[in-house]
Chains A and B, each alone.
Chain A
Amino acid sequence: MINKVRQHLSQNEALLFERSSPGKKAYQLPELDVPAVDAAEALGAENVRAEIEGFPEVSEVEAIRHFTRLSTWNYAIDHGMYPLGSCTMKYNPRINELVARIDGLAWAHPYQPEALSQGCMQVMERLELMLAEITGMDAVTLQPAAGAHGELTGILLIRALLEKRGNPRKKILIPDSAHGTNPATAAIAGYAVENIKSSSTGGVDLAALEGLVNEDVAALMVTNPNTLGVFEENIIRVAEILHRKGAMLYMDGANMNALVGMARPGDFGVDVLHLNLHKTFSTPHGGGGPGAGPVCVKKVLEPFLPTPRLKRSGKKLTFDYKRKNSIGRVKAFYGNFGVLVRALAYILAHGGPGLRNATMDAVLNAVYIRKQLEPYFDLPYPSPNMHEVVFSDDRQAKLGVRTGEIAKRLIDYGFHPYTVSFPLIVHGALMIEPTETEGKLELDQFIEAMISIAKEVETDPELVKNAPYGTRTSKVDEVTAARKPVLRWKPA
């Protein structure tokens, strides 16, 4: 039974370009207080454009209605549970939005004098120190803009250290359960990727690892807990095997929501990791970004961190640009500062004990879902899970229904789908991450929905396969979109 949602009307809305009419405007500029200049004279007639063809012309009311109507076509955390595995879709506290907009922070120019930037620099210093404590690492750079960017930074750091030691080496080992950004990153950093098959329990296969690690291997990129939501029980051994051969252990910290306050990568042999502040530390995903991907390292890697580095001399903070071993910049300026403000606000609000509680709730919620759904869905890797749980659609596939279809049916029940078909080592994966945000009521509704769909698969598979029914947009034809790409509006 569907009881979390019922239908309501939603407004149709044309594209901005289609609802434009000549001369309409939604802006006001003050009168010029200086003489106007002739554009052709100032810029050269050949450099001055004619009008911007097709550009919107709408009134203020039309503009706000346009975007408000569009917004109602989205599902969001503010509507309910968003159990996308690996994405850590948790509540985004609005206080964080407010403080990021405080004038003195929001309007701070990256090139204003350091003497007039001490507040921003303190925010950064405080966050660096707190992230170092949370991860058990020695130094942190806040420059990378997202997880994948942090990965690249981390792998370049490893490369720089190994180069300094005489040989950058050739390969990065990556488990077959890894996120796509891991191999893509290794390639950009100039490394060959060697896949390493997961063990029967889904973790790093120690024997396989022993066999693969040699003088050509620069690092292993491991996600911990891994993409099954399972803690790498042999992580300390993994680090030893790598270190013995002079290779490094890189940790993809996308799943830190399972560990904060309970375990620290720095204590279990990790040399470098990135965090996703837009996951673990609740900065809003905003429909795909922005994020921030700070990189935390052990002391040996500190000299190679991107320039500039924050430096404290007494009461004053400065930026140190003269670092001869640095990999250089990975981004202009100092990082996604506005995102850093939000993450720091989140950490300050929780404090040490609050962060630990959040971790325990996140894991409790995921284990609860697992226990309730295990009778209905196959669980290919039965090791204890942490903040997420990954089922397979094997049972449902026998009746002709795949994970992607179950996901679409979940929409009719008023939920955003879980992550579909990832990690690749699970056949037809259903990857569910509730986060600590959800209370028992929402979890139970989700569980009921999943059980109800499991039953529908048995009684009426066609019903599930043609879902969703309740949305204003029914199943979207993605095949045609890719075959005949239409990537921009053009006048008819």
Chain B
Amino acid sequence: MLDVCGAGSPEELFSHLPEAARLHRPLDLPPGISEYEIVEYFTRRAEENGIGYTSFLGAGVYRHYRPVLVDTVVSRGEFLTSYTPYQAEISQGTLTAIFEFQTMICQLTGMDVANASMYDGSTAVPEAAMMAVRATGKGRVLVAKTVHPEYREVLRTYARNQGMPVEEFGYVDGAGTLDLEDLERKMDDFTGAVILQSPNFFGIVDQVKAAAEIAHKRGALLVVIFTEAVSLGILEPPADADIVAGELQSFAITPSYGGPYAGIIATKEKLIRQMPGRLVGQTTDSRGNRAFCLTLATREQHIRREKATSNICTNQALIALMATVFMSVYGKLGLRELAEQNLAKSHYLAGKLTPRFSGKFFNEFVAKVGSPDAVNKALLKKKIIGGLPLGRFYPELADCILICATEMSRKGDMDTVGQVVQPAAATEAAEVLA
């Protein structure tokens, strides 16, 4: 091969690089290691994380059982090692699965169209906001304080340089639901998007319909976010929204320390051309057979460049496939039963604790515990990771944790949580009284 290339050595193929631009020493990296050593290295790291803990964390990332079929399917080389399906004739597997994915997301959310995936729920929020702003020609964005705090941070990062002022509206202290009066007060005719989450960050099912009315009255679009996709198995779909953006991590995607997950954006027919990301459409091949292909690409960066609806290119296809397999395995009956189990578990746990809000919740809720740190420390001794201390995001809830129970939470562990938390909270309360 070197002869054909007219080179005496592979190094010679780099001789046209300017001297000053070349690296004249070996990289300061250790030599390669064997497969066995790699497994060993990562097994050690996993051990350093601590082993054998049960967790009650939710807050946007949920512990749900992953049916075996999910990894069986996504481990197939034909799905795992293929590129974006630009060449439709040899990508019908991926394309068909995405078409099914888009369909199931529509069925779940009550929207007309869904895209092939976004990076995650958090980045889907600014993408949805930008979409609403483009569609309405109004730049201002109102976002509920009960949208996941990290999602709001991402929204702010994106919004800053786009002449897209972002303001927040509050929640009702007792119920933990949207403060609709605050929303109404802050609405104006320059607002293009109202963004809320349901179930909200506190786990509470929120008032989509009422918020939609307020938004629509002033010509804004309503964007509804979800982080717990399993809730859609039992909750009324947010059909009053104009855009639904969410996170599918709950659908057989391991928590994996924060990613990779899969976000989605779904919307009404009239907003299709404003959609970011890839879309798969149905058509036929030259023999008249049904076939699928990527479509409406004139929205995208490779065609439209700086006028594109988004800069996204690579998305989360394989993760979306995990969700697709998950939805197929659970199906119509299973997703409902799964949601019901989550509901039962979280309500059992709530019975052992002191919920901070009166709003109806799905599988997580805010519990008043006095000192979250003390409680969590006591739980760790029992090999239980407790809830998320909320003071970090909501100073007014510094005595609370956000705690979650799923189908994987065992009764015995929930009883332990109750036993550990309640006395601590009681002591705390007694101290306050004294």
Known: A70-B93, A288-B315, A417-B87. A107 touches B38 (CB 8 A): no
Binds A, one of B78-86, B212-220, B425-433: B78-86
Determine whether A461 belongs to the interface, using a CB cutoff of 8 Å to chain B: no
Which stretch from A207-215, A259-267, A394-402, A450-458 is at the chain B interface? A259-267
User: A354: which B residues are within 8 A, CB to CB?
Assistant: 31-32
Name the interface size band of chain A.
Answer: 35 or more
Contact flag A285-B81 (CB < 8 Å), given A156-B157, A184-B306: yes
* Contact of A347 with B29 in the complex, beta carbons under 8 Å: yes
Q: Which of A81-131 contact B (CB under 8 A)?
A: 82, 84, 87, 89, 91-92, 95, 97-113, 115-120, 122-123, 130
State whether B301 touches A180 (Cβ < 8 A): yes
Q: Give A334 Cβ to nearest chain B Cβ, in Å.
A: 5
B246 on interface, CB distance cutoff 8 Å: no
| Docked CA distance A273–B424 (Å) | 50
Q: Does A303 contact B (CB under 8 A)?
A: no
Provide the residues of chain A in CB contact with B283, threshold 8 Å: 476-478, 480-481, 486
The answer to whether A348 touches B41, judged by C-beta atoms less than 8 angstroms apart, is: yes
Q: What CA separation (Å) do A66 and B96 show in the bound complex?
A: 11
Query: How many angstroms between the C-alpha atoms of A47 and B46 in the bound complex?
Result: 41
Asked if B93 and A109 sit within 8 Å, CB to CB, the answer is no
13 residue pairs from A and B, CB less than 8 Å apart: A35-B344, A37-B344, A53-B107, A73-B92, A75-B78, A104-B46, A108-B255, A133-B27, A190-B160, A263-B22, A364-B5, A364-B13, A411-B90
Beyond A71-B76, A188-B310, 20 additional contacts (C-beta under 8 Å) are A13-B96, A25-B333, A48-B236, A57-B332, A71-B73, A71-B93, A74-B79, A104-B47, A111-B61, A181-B313, A287-B321, A288-B314, A290-B259, A332-B154, A337-B257, A347-B29, A349-B38, A386-B14, A474-B286, A487-B114
Instruction: Report if B362 contacts A (CB, 8 A).
Output: yes
Residues of B within 8 A of A63 (CB): 69, 325, 328-329
Q: Mark A256-288, 1 if CB is under 8 A from B, else 0.
A: 000011111001100000001010000011111
Interface: A351 (CB within 8 A): yes
| Residue interface bits B89-133, CB-to-A below 8 A is 1, else 0 | 111111011111011101110001110110111110000001000
Complex CA distance for A289 and B320, rounded to whole angstroms: 9
A264→B102 CA distance, assembly (Å): 42
Q: In the assembled complex, which residues on chain B have CB atoms less than 8 Å from the CB atom of A338?
A: 254, 256-257, 259-260
- Chain B proximity of A104: nearest CB distance (Å): 3
Proximity bits, A291-333, B CB within 8 Å = 1, else 0: 1100000000000001000000000000000000001111111
Rounded to whole Å, the gap between the CB of A355 and the closest CB of chain B is: 7
Which residue of chain B is the closest to A78 with respect to CB atoms? Answer: B77
Bound CA span A56–B100, Å: 10
Nearest 10 interchain pairs by C-beta: A286-B318, A104-B46, A333-B258, A190-B161, A78-B77, A351-B32, A288-B317, A332-B122, A119-B48, A119-B45
Q: Is B337 positioned at the interface, with any CB of A under 8 Å from its CB?
A: yes
**Are B80 and A112 neighbours in the complex by a CB distance under 8 Å?**
no
Whether A368 pairs with B1 at a CB distance below 8 angstroms is yes
Query: Is B330 interfacial (CB-CB < 8 Å)?
Result: yes
Shortest Cβ gap from A409 to chain B (Å): 11
Chain B residue contacts of A328, Cβ below 8 A: 153-154, 156-157, 160
B229 within 8 A of A: no
Distance between B130 CB and nearest chain A CB, rounded to angstroms? 8
A341 within 8 A of B: yes
- The answer to whether residues A107 and B255 also contact, given A70-B92, A123-B45, A146-B314 and a CB cut-off of 8 A, is yes
Q: Which residue of A lies closest to B387 (CB)?
A: A111
The reply to whether A262 and B22 contact each other, CB–CB distance below 8 Å, is yes
Residues of A contacting B321 in the complex (Cβ-Cβ under 8 angstroms): 286-287
B195 close to chain A: CB less than 8 A: no
Which chain B residues border A51 with CB–CB below 8 Å?
332, 336
Contact A488 to B106, CB < 8 A, known contacts A349-B32, A474-B285, A476-B283? yes
**Residue in B32, B45, B307 whose CB lies within 8 Å of A120:** B45
B367 to chain A minimum Cβ distance, whole angstroms, is 15
Query: When the two chains form their complex, are residues A288 and B257 in contact, meaning their CB atoms are under 8 A apart?
Result: no
Contact residues in A for B259 (Cβ distance below 8 Å)? 145, 290, 331, 333-339
- Is A99 a contact partner of B39 (Cβ separation < 8 A)? yes
Nearest-neighbor residue (CB-CB) of A360 within chain B: B10
A482 touching B13, Cβ below 8 Å: no
Residues from chain B with a CB closer than 8 A to the CB of A76 are 77-82
Does B295 contact A485, Cβ atoms closer than 8 Å? yes
B83 to chain A, nearest CB (A): 5
> How many Å lie between the Cα of A76 and that of B83 in the bound state?
7
Q: Cβ of B338 and Cβ of A184 under 8 Å apart?
A: no
Verify B96–A15 contact, CB threshold 8 A. yes
Residues A278 and B314 in contact, CB atoms below 8 Å apart: yes
Counting CB contacts under 8 A, is B51 at the interface? yes
Contact flag A26-B331 (CB < 8 Å), given A64-B73, A99-B39, A329-B150: yes
Q: Is B170 an interface residue (CB 8 A)?
A: no
Assess the A71–B79 pair: CB atoms within 8 A: yes
B257 pairs with A332, CB closer than 8 A = no
Q: Which residues of chain B come closer than 8 Å to A30, judged between CB atoms? A: 407
Determine whether the beta carbon of A77 is less than 8 Å from that of B77: yes
| Contact A55 to B99, CB < 8 A, known contacts A27-B329, A148-B313, A233-B18 | no
